[in-house]
């Protein structure tokens, strides 16, 4: 488990820094790589899942175009 120290206030004081505990799990299912990041910040738990299609025929250029399109759509 990784531990990251963050600052709670604008001036750094070690007495007020909070710990973030992070745990990452990986699994492959149905041709997809699934990463699951579990964070604990204070007493609150967060889970972030990322899914990557391993059998995809899409190129990096296709991915960049999709990200740009999504950015334009969200700005509109």
Q: Give the tens place of pLDDT for each residue, 8-39.
A: 556 555 555 566 778 899 999 888 899 999 88
Predicted TM-score (pTM) above 0.85: no
Q: In this structure, how many other beta carbons lie within 10 angstroms of the beta carbon of residue 39?
A: 16
Contact 1, 22 (CB under 8 A): yes
Which pLDDT does position 9 carry in this prediction?
A: 54
Contact 21, 6 (CB under 8 A): no
Contact 5, 17 (CB under 8 A): yes
Which pLDDT does position 40 carry in this prediction?
A: 83
Nearest one of 30, 22, 76 to 52, comparing CA atoms: 30
Q: How far apart are CA 37 and CA 66, in angstroms?
A: 24
Domain ranges of the chain: 2-75
């Amino acid at each position: 488990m990784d531990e990251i120290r963050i600052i709670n206030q604008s001036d750094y004081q070690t007495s007020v820094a909070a710990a973030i505990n992070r745990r990452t799990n990986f699994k492959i299912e149905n041709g997809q790589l699934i990463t699951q990041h579990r964070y604990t910040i204070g007493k609150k738990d967060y889970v972030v899942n990322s899914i990557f299609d391993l059998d995809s025929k899409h190129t990096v250029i296709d991915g960049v175009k999709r990200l740009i399109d999504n950015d334009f759509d969200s700005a509109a």
